[in-house]
Amino acid sequence: MAENEDVVVLENDTLAEDDVQDWSALNAGVLKIADEALPKREGKFFDQDGSNTQMERLSDARNQMYFALLHIRGHHVKLTLRAVWCPSRMMALVPHAKGSFFKDVGVAHTYKRKKKAQGMWLSPFEVVYLVERGSLVVYLGDDSVETFLENEDLALDYEPLKKLPLSHLYALALALDLDLVDQYETYALLKRLGYLILERKVEVKHEVVPTAKPKASLWERIYLSLTLTATLLFSRLYSALYFGRVHFFSFTLVYQLLRLISTYTPGPQEMSMLPPLDHRYRIMFDVWKPSPGFSKKNPPVPDFQVSVVNVSRVPFPSISVIKAMWGQVKRRPTNVDTSKSSIKPKQSSKFVSKRDERLKRKAERDSKLDPAIRSRNDYLAKKEKLLKGGSTGTQVVLAAVDTGVINFSIFNETEFSLKSDATIADLNCLESRADHGIVWNEKVVPLNKS
Amino acid sequence: MGDLIPLVVNGGSILVFELSHVKRLRDLGIVGILSGTLPKAPQQNVFLGLPLRLSIYEAAWLVNQSLGVLVDGLRYNEQVLNISSLKEETVELQGGVEYVVTEDTYSQVDDEQLAKICRDAEISVDALMVRLFGSVKTRQHLLSAAFNYFRDRDYYLMPGLRFGGDFVAYPGDPLKFHSHLILKVLEQKESFDLLQLVTSGRLATAVKKAWVLVGESSTQRNKQNQKPSLHCFSIEWAGFG
């Protein structure tokens, strides 16, 4: 469950009261370029009472907000980072990339004739994000940029170029498509939360793995079907003779009759039948929790895969759309144990995260328990996690945007019968059982509709 | 004309980049959503900064009241670029530390010239509606009518996504007031099921609001451009027993 608690995006968005914002504390203290401490929330009024006090408090709150908005959008002159927007390429070039932003931002450009310099191409989302937070200044590029890419000059001459304000950059970078600003806002929100994000450039195509299930031999199947029909006939005849009507001998039969949808077991054959994904729901971003070993050239399988829709234009996805979205999900190879992280934690670090503390306390509690109870708890916790968080790891995040307000939903693939091979293996190593599912599964003769 | 607030259209979004305009809008009861990263605290999502994002309904209200004008972002900025003066690249703050900065907009632009540019780059509300929603847009017209209806009654409106409605209505500036109503706009003959009545009613009551259904009254409108007359019903979860 600890993994779920890391999903800050979900916790941010609850049915709680509206955001109670108090901008004043944000402005308190020394004027710093980036102030990380967040102010506490202050109460709001429930209704207008026409009093001066109320009006004063409101005007004070507004002024504090305006003051915070007035703050400069910039960074220390010693760390100056510049970029040039190239309208023909719809990208921005950072001629000399330095600093910590490029871990998940930009595509490296190697100059043909400049050995020592390292350029970086930024996508529209990336350049707007960096400029908006004040970490980059951007100029409107002209032909000199293309020349610079080819020649031997080490520095680009910014003098003749015009510096772009944020408004013009938005117009250049985010105006080509109706949804770009929505997508950018989602990107920026996740970046601000500290996630590592790459844009999904191409659609994922899964190779259809032919089903390799051993089939029962022909004779076996004939025999099975014959015995089934025989028992069915017998039971029908029996109840018809003795009671004149269909009779239920056990609750299971009643449940089976009531069951509208049969339990679902995900498997490779499912993937091949997927409909193509409606373009509006395509997966836009691959998102990772922050990790020190991340490489944007060779990224691991994403922790979240996010699709962005505007609620006023795109309806809530149907089950077939959700399934098609699952078809676009990058998956972990099934034979790799994901629980073992390849990155070793730093030994020297004295910092203990809340999560580590929680885990430590839990381990202490557990050590006092009977081993049998402990293993049973582990089993139940694992099972609950599979049922709630998805048993296959197939998961998409849908970011629904309504004029700047973003709401995240996660669609997991799960199975109530817990019958897929991976799940059975997972659960059997904790507690061996014939059936792990939560679906009542007594073996009885199926009942025909009558 | 010089007083019109330029509402910059980029793709499907309507944005305001200038703080003085944000102040004016707020005084007019149009709050929008601050959607940009706040440079003062760039690693959090509670307090966001410029640009201010407006809904199409807020923009339509402003245009109808002759307070604002929708302009195409690219055409507008390209023209402003030609008449603007460049500011210094760096700014010195307290203690003599210099910062390289990006402005929100081009500065020191002559009002008259700006008005001319606004006229030149203007987009009509209808054109933007068509761009966003296609030609059939009865629902959007109704949403717009509902927005105007509540704004004219001095409610402040925000997007309804947080509470599963079309709008959330506040008795005063959302900065200092809790909201009262979750608005759900229904088209004529549009039905909703009882389950929705229960879930939305319960949700609204749980967050101390009323769920309000807004619909066009059944009397037929004679002309297309005539204002629809609206009927509203508020629903509260009684929670007996």
Which chain A residues contact residue B78 at CB under 8 A? 168
Which chain A residues contact residue B86 at CB under 8 A? 162-163
- At A43, the amino acid letter reads G
A126 closest CA partner among A174, A87, A80, A78:
A174
The CATH number for B203's domain is 3.40.1350.10
Verify that B92 and B44 share a domain, yes or no. yes
Q: What percent of chain B has pLDDT over 90?
A: 39
Residue B234 is inside which H or E element, if any?
Answer: strand B230-235
Verify that B31 and B120 share a domain, yes or no. yes
Verify that B143 and B65 share a domain, yes or no. no
B176:A31 CB<8 A: no
Does position B170 have pLDDT exceeding 90, yes or no?
Answer: yes
ipTM: 0.91
Verify that B125 and B143 share a domain, yes or no. no
Predicted pLDDT at B52: 95
Sequence-ordered strand ranges (E) for A358-414:
395-402, 405-412
A69:B50 CB<8 A: yes
Residue with the two structure tokens 């580590």: A356
Considering B69, B97, B129, which residue would you say is the last residue of a domain? B129
Nearest to A170 among B22, B73, B89 (CB): B73
Verify that B20 and B100 share a domain, yes or no. yes
- Residue B186 in any domain: the answer is yes
B173:A62 CB<8 A: yes
Verify that B81 and B43 share a domain, yes or no. yes
- Residue B240 in any domain: the answer is no
Greater confidence (B102 vs A238) lies with B102
Q: What is the DSSP string of A191-222?
A: HHTT-EEEE--S---PPPPPP-PPPPPHHHHH
Highest mean pLDDT among A146-160, B14-28, B186-200: B14-28
Task: List chain A domain ranges.
Answer: 77-175, 177-206+230-334+368-450
Say if residues B169 and B31 touch (Cβ distance below 8 Å).
Answer: no
Q: Is A69 on the interface with B (CB under 8 A)?
A: yes
Which chain A residues contact residue B175 at CB under 8 A? 21, 44, 58, 61-62, 65
Task: Report d(CA A170, CA A184) in Å as an integer.
Answer: 10
A408: closest CA of chain B, how far (Å): 11
Contacts of A407 (CB under 8 A, 6+ apart): A13, A399, A400, A401, B161, B162
- B8: β partners: B15, B71
Nearest to B159 among A57, A170, A402 (CB): A402
Verify that B100 and B38 share a domain, yes or no. yes
The predicted model gives B133-159 an average pLDDT of 88
| Segments forming the whole domain that contains residue B102 | 5-129
- At A339, the amino acid letter reads S
B140: closest CA of chain A, how far (Å): 9
Task: Report d(CA B229, CA B157) in Å as an integer.
Answer: 19
Verify that B89 and B116 share a domain, yes or no. yes
Residue with the two structure tokens 């109704």: B142
DSSP secondary-structure letter at B177?
Answer: B
Q: Tell me the pLDDT of chain A (450 aa) as tens digits.
A: 334 333 333 333 333 444 555 677 676 654 454 545 556 566 888 888 888 888 888 888 889 889 989 888 888 888 888 899 998 889 999 988 888 888 888 888 888 877 777 888 999 999 999 999 989 999 988 888 888 888 877 788 888 888 888 999 999 999 988 999 999 999 999 999 999 999 988 666 554 444 444 455 667 767 777 777 777 777 777 666 665 666 777 777 777 777 777 777 776 655 556 667 788 899 999 999 998 888 888 888 899 999 999 998 899 998 888 888 888 888 776 544 444 444 444 455 566 778 888 888 888 888 888 888 888 888 888 888 888 877 777 889 999 999 989 999 999 888 887 877 777 877 888 888 777 777 766 666 555 544
Nearest to B100 among A77, A133, A401 (CB): A77
* CB burial readout B101-125, b (16+ within 10 A) else e: bbbbbbeebeeeebbebbeebbbeb
- Looking at B178, B208, B223, B227, which residue is catalytic? B178
A404:B33 CB<8 A: yes
Nearest to B55 among A136, A140, A403 (CB): A403
Verify that B81 and B182 share a domain, yes or no. no
Nearest to B99 among A76, A132, A194 (CB): A76
- B212: β partners: B183, B234
B60: closest CA of chain A, how far (Å): 14
pLDDT per residue as tens digits for the range A368-398: 888 888 888 888 888 888 888 777 778 899 9
Burial of B193 (0-12, 13-18, 19+ CB in 10 A): exposed
Task: Report d(CA B53, CA A305) in Å as an integer.
Answer: 26
Predicted pLDDT at A150: 82
- Annotated catalytic residue B170: yes
Task: Report d(CA A318, CA A442) in Å as an integer.
Answer: 32
Verify that B124 and B170 share a domain, yes or no. no
- B91: β partners: B99
Predicted pLDDT at A231: 75
Say if residues B52 and B35 touch (Cβ distance below 8 Å).
Answer: yes
Q: How many domains does chain B have?
A: 2
Greater confidence (B94 vs A110) lies with A110
- Residue B190 in any domain: the answer is yes
Q: What percent of chain B has pLDDT over 70?
A: 91
Q: Is A44 on the interface with B (CB under 8 A)?
A: yes
Verify that B125 and B142 share a domain, yes or no. no
Domain A77-175 top-level CATH class: alpha beta
Task: Report d(CA B113, CA B172) in Å as an integer.
Answer: 36
Which chain B residues contact residue A175 at CB under 8 A? 9-11, 73-74
H-only helix segments in chain B: 19-27, 56-64, 73-83, 111-120, 125-133, 138-152, 194-206
Backbone phi and psi for residue A128, each to the nearest 5 degrees, phi listed first: -65, -40
Which chain A residues contact residue B39 at CB under 8 A? 33-34, 71-74, 132-134
Which chain A residues contact residue B83 at CB under 8 A? none
- 3-state SS, residue A306: strand
Predicted pLDDT at A448: 53
Residue A312 half-sphere exposure, CB side, CA atoms within 13 Å?
29
Contacts of A308 (CB under 8 A, 6+ apart): A179, A182, A183, A186, A284, A285, A399, A401
- Annotated catalytic residue B57: no
Predicted pLDDT at A393: 76
Considering B129, B157, B172, which residue would you say is the last residue of a domain? B129
Say if residues A287 and A304 touch (Cβ distance below 8 Å).
Answer: yes
Task: Report d(CA A196, CA A306) in Å as an integer.
Answer: 12
Q: Is A8 on the interface with B (CB under 8 A)?
A: no
- Residue B54 in any domain: the answer is yes
What is the torsional sign of CA B16, B21, B23, B25?
A: negative
Predicted pLDDT at A29: 53
- 3-state SS, residue B232: strand
The predicted model gives B110-127 an average pLDDT of 84
Q: Is A336 on the interface with B (CB under 8 A)?
A: no
- Residue B241 in any domain: the answer is no
A326 closest CA partner among A312, A305, A303:
A305
A125: closest CA of chain B, how far (Å): 12
Average pLDDT, chain B: 86
- Residue B79 in any domain: the answer is yes
- Pick the range with the lowest mean pLDDT from A88-97, B20-29, B104-113: B104-113
- Looking at B170, B180, B184, B208, which residue is catalytic? B170
Verify that B160 and B109 share a domain, yes or no. no
B175:A62 CB<8 A: yes
B43 closest CA partner among A282, A46, A195, A215:
A195
Considering B129, B153, B175, which residue would you say is the last residue of a domain? B129
- Residue B101 in any domain: the answer is yes
